Amino acid sequence: MNVLIVYAHPEPRSLNGALRDFAVAHLEAAGHAVQVSDLYAMNWKAAFDADDVTDRASDARFDPALDSKRAFETGTQRDDIAREQAKLNWADAVILQFPLWWFSMPAIMKGWVERVYAYGFAYGVGEHSDRHWGDRYGEGSLAGKRAMVIVTTGGWESHYSARGINGPIDDVLFPIQHGILYYPGFDVLPPFVIYRAGKMNDARFDEIRAALGKRLDELWTVQPIPFRRQNAGDYEIPALTLKPDIAPGTVGFAAHLAAAR
């Protein structure tokens, strides 16, 4: 199978760098083909702007959505964007690996999402009607592929627990796992989280490496997070609110899991 690792850490001689190298070697040893988009090493352009469309008149008003749509359709995107889209099309599974900085992905990776996820590629796809609100949240260009987040945090596991001050890790990651990965169609696997990454020693590193190896071996078999499909009957369209008989009384991110009470 083909695996794309999108990776963002500024220092290769870091825990993230070591885990990235381990993941590549482990996947290749299992016979998979691996590509890595090492965003810092690539000097990835983080800011999405008018320069991402190559054929604009310099005085034209830039519309992030509509210009992205036209550039994707007509092949006038910047080459770096098209190359990443090709990698996504090639991949059977995509891993986003990053340190959690200020409760989200590093800016350079957020800029990868904003630029590569063109209108017509990752959003604005499919029929928009009062029965079907676009191919998204369980449908879309990337449907049939799997995705997983590998993330390190400085904070402790308890700080990210159900009643921890930073919020539960599943909720902190919801905008990424549901909003960035599930939205264009990925089946999203449970995240691999390394807490308290600043407190590492050889024994802990060995344990983490073994656990990550096991998770990579299960990449094709583990059950995805059971997010609800937008167009499969659970939601009113176009309000896109859960129907009253679906998880009645439940609000917030957790309501969008099929297992929600």
Per CB under 8 A, residues contacting a second copy are 10-11, 13-14, 40, 44, 46-50, 61-65, 99, 101-104, 106-108, 110-111, 113-114, 117, 137, 154-156, 158-159, 161-168, 171-172, 174-176, 178-180, 198, 230, 235, 238-242, 250-256
Q: How far apart are CA 251 and CA 178, in angstroms?
A: 16
Q: How far apart are CA 178 and CA 229, in angstroms?
A: 11
Nearer residue to a second copy within complex by CB, 108 or 148:
108
Query: First and final CA of the chain: distance in angstroms?
Result: 36
Nearer residue to a second copy within complex by CB, 153 or 216:
153
Nearer residue to a second copy within complex by CB, 32 or 56:
56
Nearer residue to a second copy within complex by CB, 167 or 224:
167
Determine the 3-state secondary structure of 51 from DSSP. Answer: helix
Longest Cα–Cα distance in the chain: 59
Query: Are 116 and 221 a contacting pair, CB within 8 Å?
Result: no
Q: Which residue has the tokens 């320069």?
A: 51
Q: How far apart are CA 135 and CA 128, in angstroms?
A: 8
We find the least distance from the C-beta atom of residue 219 to a second copy, in angstroms, to be: 24
Nearer residue to a second copy within complex by CB, 65 or 258:
65
Q: How far apart are CA 216 and CA 47, in angstroms?
A: 31
- 106's tokens: 């590093």
Length of the chain: 261
Nearer residue to a second copy within complex by CB, 91 or 242:
242
Q: Which helix (H) or strand (E) holds 21?
A: helix 15-29
Nearer residue to a second copy within complex by CB, 176 or 208:
176
- 80's tokens: 């770096």
Sort strands 93-99 and 33-38 into parallel, antiparallel or unpaired. unpaired
Q: Which residue has the tokens 């550039």?
A: 71
We find the least distance from the C-beta atom of residue 129 to a second copy, in angstroms, to be: 15
Nearest to 191 by CA among 153, 158, 156: 153
We find the least distance from the C-beta atom of residue 87 to a second copy, in angstroms, to be: 18
We find the least distance from the C-beta atom of residue 33 to a second copy, in angstroms, to be: 28
